[in-house]
Amino acid sequence: MDALSLLVSALPDGVVVTDPDAVEKYRFDWSRDLLAGHPLAVVRAEDAAQVQTTVRWAAEHRVPVVPRGAGSGLSGGSTAVDGGIVLSLERMRAIEVDVECRVAVVEPGALNAEVKAACAEHGLWYPPDPSSYEICSIGGNVATNAGGLCCVKYGVTTDYVLGLDVVLADGTLVTLGGKRIKDVAGLSLLKLFVGSEGTLGIVTRVLLRLVPAQAARSTLVASFPDVGSAAEAVVDVGRTLRPSMMELMDNASINAVEDYRSMGLDRTAGALLVAQSDAPGAARAEEMTQIAAACELAGATAVFSTDDPAEGEMFVEARRLAFPAIEARGALLLEDVGAPVPRLPDLLAAIAAIATEHEVEIPVVAHAGDGNTHPIIVFDAGDPASEKRARLAFEAVMRAAIDLGGTITGEHGVGRAKKGALPDQLGPEVMALNQRVKDALDPHGILNPGAVL
Amino acid sequence: MDALSLLVSALPDGVVVTDPDAVEKYRFDWSRDLLAGHPLAVVRAEDAAQVQTTVRWAAEHRVPVVPRGAGSGLSGGSTAVDGGIVLSLERMRAIEVDVECRVAVVEPGALNAEVKAACAEHGLWYPPDPSSYEICSIGGNVATNAGGLCCVKYGVTTDYVLGLDVVLADGTLVTLGGKRIKDVAGLSLLKLFVGSEGTLGIVTRVLLRLVPAQAARSTLVASFPDVGSAAEAVVDVGRTLRPSMMELMDNASINAVEDYRSMGLDRTAGALLVAQSDAPGAARAEEMTQIAAACELAGATAVFSTDDPAEGEMFVEARRLAFPAIEARGALLLEDVGAPVPRLPDLLAAIAAIATEHEVEIPVVAHAGDGNTHPIIVFDAGDPASEKRARLAFEAVMRAAIDLGGTITGEHGVGRAKKGALPDQLGPEVMALNQRVKDALDPHGILNPGAVL
């Protein structure tokens, strides 16, 4: 019996998928990497034991395993590799809310939005909210240490992970952490697995810390003549205030959204800021006034505020639409670069200069309050010259972020798309340290090989 | 030339201390471990280069290195070992506040209180506040992932560490992270070093995230007939509110403090809760009213509130005095056990039962809102039977926490004092995983040997 047949026979019927058409859908994530490999099979695991069986088999036969949640990753972290297994967690999506402990016990395939909804039924809130929250999985969120829009006030995924069940590279299942809020017993392995992009182990259960439901929010939309003045407003607000959202759209992304779906955005604005306050009671109106004042001081030409949740959500939805809207314009290279917040104007200026130099369109949206930007490089997939210019711009944007003391990725992960630039940011010694930890936990290199390192 | 002479000659005059009287002071931390070893020497490093020189020398000669900040640790994490070096960071205490980036760049020997003060000059705030904040160092805070009183709302040390310079076991200096808020480039090594208690590397510089100055606070003190009813109030408050402090003192700790210094606490109370709200504007009064209502519902016999900062600080100071006050009563074994918040009443009941069973006094203070308690076992150091009972109680308290799904240490670290109980909490597979990471980063085991693992 060949190796794959052994795996098929070790798992229940239907868990191992080998039909080429069915497998095809699992080769790509949203980064649509044209170099995606052809896997042997897809394992659609139903429980941790099946994950263990798969990994044990992979370890024995030295077969690469690429774990995959909802496939909405933007850096190629779950792009298939030749001759490997795609280990899909999409069927493991149980959600249990421990209301007393304020903890959600979640399987990795559950979508972020499903977790939020389950918690909301009990008046509880799981804050991290990637723009893709309706279609991305918690397992993927943990793998990339995903951020989102409210993270400027409420932090990112790692801040909410209290516990993980992880299948290690030899198939051992370990439980890290638990339903306690503070725990420093032993090394911070829990935190090490968060953001490890499936290269150290495969998460089969997540304990998420919940907080009381978010207070009512007000929304502010400010138009600026250019991204620089908008960025100045962001820096100024951050000095004294803690808004619960501080998003930026540049003119190109505004117009891409309006072309895609009319959302009533000001097409003439050089940049828009979409900010929210959830300060309690009367403090909310006060915070909104202060944010508005900072915008005006920085040169905003119009400031609109609303306490109406539906109206506010419309603007946030417009911001979230930027990615699908820009995707409608062509093939994309997705950036996720960050910089110290006061360097945000410099980063945005550098991106604009790179767009000009390489003759590519680079609309930008940003979690501006965290200094985390998403320049989206648009190119014509049918035109090799256009693609080449886009790839040069992609490298140049990461280089600009590094030069400003920033990062090549704030929340999407390195995956395969940004692996080439990682040494530029980390340097040889930190790269070697990463590799040492990787080798210690996955000595045969079977877990997501080719990602990150 | 012997090995030590080589070290002395490699460092400037006065950096290496070998005088026995001077060395003696560096043998113990606050856990006063009677089994503390006799080190070869103390290195009082002035900069990262001297740390590198020391570690390189130690690696070459296979000499253990115990890093040490202010020596205020409570788990024996910086207890000296025979024939080793104590590497003191106390002279490295520069603090630089980057106001624009809202980041403090701090050397490890700087005290937590010094960092807070330097930031406050610029209207900025570094939240983590161990009870010992006036005498504990930031390096020690990073080593233990220290918590404190405001952490119930604002999180612990790891939530504020944006960057670290670390000297690795071979003397290599690496820089992890930076002044950007979000960064997922590579494995989360930054988070791995936080809480590693000097077993993976020696921190020589810390970048700390700062937030705008805390808003005005109101303080509430509620008396309860017993710890169980106080714990019920804590659980109830946590369901809907986010107080910025939620501390508990039991009757024994109240009376220990009053014996030590009269602070006006209610000596007859079975337990006190000291809570604070820093909700902005009018929301503060509302939150205080809701906390008071929860206390009354749980059976509080008296609830006192004040908006006066000085009066509020007096009660918080009384809470902070618990440790020195109880220390005045005898020799101590310090616990730091935690449980899921709803298990807090069970944990406190278990501790009381253990005190009765083993005939020892165990006053308890707690960061109750986080489920993190400090039972303090008092014994007569001159009476072997008393000490034996205390040690049995010490083990029993940790066992009780583990049985409730909790932890043997919430914020003090494992050090040497709790090392024996770590396998009971983690189990053999997670212990092996800890060891694998330790071996990968410190293959010769020279960094703080005997601590944690």
- Answer yes or no: is A56 within a domain: no
Tokens of A204: 């089969």
Q: Which residue has the tokens 């604009």?
A: A352
The nearest alpha carbon in chain B to A145 belongs to B184
- Residues A199-245: tens digit of each pLDDT: 999 999 999 999 999 999 999 999 999 999 999 999 999 988 999 99
Q: What is the pLDDT of residue A45?
A: 98
Inter-chain residue contact A422 with B185, CB threshold 8 Å: yes
What is the rounded distance in angstroms from the CA atom of residue B232 to the CA atom of residue B227?
Answer: 9
- Residues A358-416: tens digit of each pLDDT: 999 999 999 999 999 999 999 999 999 999 999 999 999 999 999 999 999 999 999 99
- Residues 6 or more apart whose CB falls under 8 angstroms from that of A419 comprise A450, A451, A452, A453
Judge if A110 and A249 occupy the same domain. no
Confidence of residue B338 (pLDDT cuts 50, 70, 90): very high
What is the rounded distance in angstroms from the CA atom of residue B30 to the CA atom of residue B72?
Answer: 5
> To probe the interface with B, which of A181, A404, A442 has the most B CB atoms within 10 Å?
A181
Residues of B in contact with A439 (CB under 8 A): 440
Q: What is the pLDDT of residue A196?
A: 98
Judge if B121 and B138 occupy the same domain. yes
- Answer yes or no: is B71 within a domain: yes
DSSP helix/strand/coil, B86: strand
- Residues 6 or more apart whose CB falls under 8 angstroms from that of A391 comprise A333
Q: What's the CATH code of the domain at B58?
A: 3.30.43.10
Judge if B292 and B234 occupy the same domain. yes
Inter-chain residue contact A181 with B155, CB threshold 8 Å: no
The secondary structure of A349-393 as a DSSP string is: HHHHHHHHHHT-B--EEEEGGGTEEEEEEEE-TT-HHHHHHHHHH
AA identity, residue A62:
R
Judge if B43 and B122 occupy the same domain. no
Judge if A205 and A228 occupy the same domain. no
Q: What is the pLDDT of residue A34?
A: 86
Cα-to-chain-centroid distance, residue B120: 22
Chain A nearest-CA distance from B287, in A, is: 10
Mean confidence (pLDDT) of chain B: 97
- Residues B169-190: tens digit of each pLDDT: 999 999 999 999 999 999 999 9
Q: What is the pLDDT of residue A412?
A: 97
Cα-to-chain-centroid distance, residue A57: 30
Confidence of residue B234 (pLDDT cuts 50, 70, 90): very high
Q: What is the pLDDT of residue B412?
A: 97
- Answer yes or no: is B69 within a domain: yes
The nearest alpha carbon in chain B to A188 belongs to B192
Domain that holds residue A353: 218-403
From the list A180, A212, A406, which residue is nearest B371 (CB)? A180
Inter-chain residue contact A409 with B185, CB threshold 8 Å: yes
From the list B159, B180, B422, which residue is nearest A406 (CB)? B180
Residue B52 has pLDDT above 80, yes or no: yes
From the list A180, A405, A411, which residue is nearest B179 (CB)? A405
Tokens of A52: 């263990």
Length of chain B: 453
Chain A nearest-CA distance from B11, in A, is: 25
Residue B425 has pLDDT above 90, yes or no: yes
AA identity, residue B181:
I
Judge if B80 and B9 occupy the same domain. yes
Judge if A385 and A246 occupy the same domain. yes
**What is the arrangement of strands in the sheet containing A161-167, beginning at the earlier edge strand?**
A95-98, A103-106, A202-209, A161-167, A173-177
Judge if B380 and B316 occupy the same domain. no
Q: What's the CATH code of the domain at A281?
A: 3.40.462.10
- Answer yes or no: is A11 within a domain: no
Helix, strand and coil content of chain B, in percent to the nearest 5, comes to 40, 20, 40
Query: Do residues B366 and B312 lie in contact, with contact meaning Cβ atoms separated by under 8 Å?
Result: no
Inter-chain residue contact B241 with A212, CB threshold 8 Å: yes
From the list A155, A174, A199, which residue is nearest B159 (CB)? A155
Q: Which residue has the tokens 């109680």?
A: B393
The nearest alpha carbon in chain A to B165 belongs to A430
Q: Point out the domain boundary residue: B56, B71, B88.
A: B88
Cα-to-chain-centroid distance, residue A414: 10
Q: What's the CATH code of the domain at B283?
A: 3.30.70.2190
> How many degrees, rounded to 5, is the angle at CA A153 between CA B289 and CA B286?
10
The pairing of strands A245-250 and A211-212 is: unpaired
Tokens of A194: 């968060």
Cβ-count burial B153-167 (b if 16+ within 10 Å, e if not): bbbbbbbbbbbbbbb
Q: What is the pLDDT of residue A318?
A: 95
> To probe the interface with B, which of A172, A173, A182 has the most B CB atoms within 10 Å?
A182
Chain B nearest-CA distance from A227, in A, is: 19
Q: What is the Cα gyration radius of chain B? A: 22
A14 touches chain B (CB under 8 A): no
Q: What's the CATH code of the domain at A132?
A: 3.30.465.10
Q: Which residue has the tokens 């950036």?
A: A335
Judge if A315 and A179 occupy the same domain. no
What is the rounded distance in angstroms from the CA atom of residue A334 to the CA atom of residue A126?
Answer: 26
Residues of A in contact with B172 (CB under 8 A): 429
Tokens of A8: 């098929």
**What is the arrangement of strands in the sheet containing B364-367, beginning at the earlier edge strand?**
B302-306, B218-224, B271-277, B245-250, B364-367, B372-379, B331-334
Q: Which residues pair with B373 in a beta bridge?
A: B366
Q: Point out the domain boundary residue: A190, A212, A234.
A: A212
- Answer yes or no: is B120 within a domain: yes
- Answer yes or no: is A175 within a domain: yes
AA identity, residue A152:
V
- Residues 6 or more apart whose CB falls under 8 angstroms from that of A60 comprise none
Inter-chain residue contact B174 with A430, CB threshold 8 Å: yes
Judge if B315 and B361 occupy the same domain. no
Chain B segment 70-129 residues within 8 A of A by beta carbon are 100-103, 123
- Answer yes or no: is B416 within a domain: yes
Query: Do residues B63 and B84 lie in contact, with contact meaning Cβ atoms separated by under 8 Å?
Result: yes
Average pLDDT over residues B263-288: 95
- Residues 6 or more apart whose CB falls under 8 angstroms from that of B52 comprise B167, B171, B172, B173
Judge if A232 and A198 occupy the same domain. no
Inter-chain residue contact B180 with A411, CB threshold 8 Å: no
For the beta carbon of residue B385, count every other beta carbon within 10 angstroms. Answer: 10
How many domains does the structure of chain B reveal? Answer: 4
Residues of A in contact with B200 (CB under 8 A): 187
Direct distance between the N- and C-terminal alpha carbons of chain A, in angstroms, rounded to an integer? 34
Q: What's the CATH code of the domain at B381?
A: 3.30.70.2740
Residue numbers of chain A with a pLDDT score lower than 50:
none
- Answer yes or no: is A53 within a domain: no
Residues of B in contact with A175 (CB under 8 A): 427, 430
Q: What is the pLDDT of residue B34?
A: 86
Q: Which residues pair with A175 in a beta bridge?
A: A165
Judge if B42 and B120 occupy the same domain. no
Q: Point out the domain boundary residue: B168, B189, B212.
A: B212
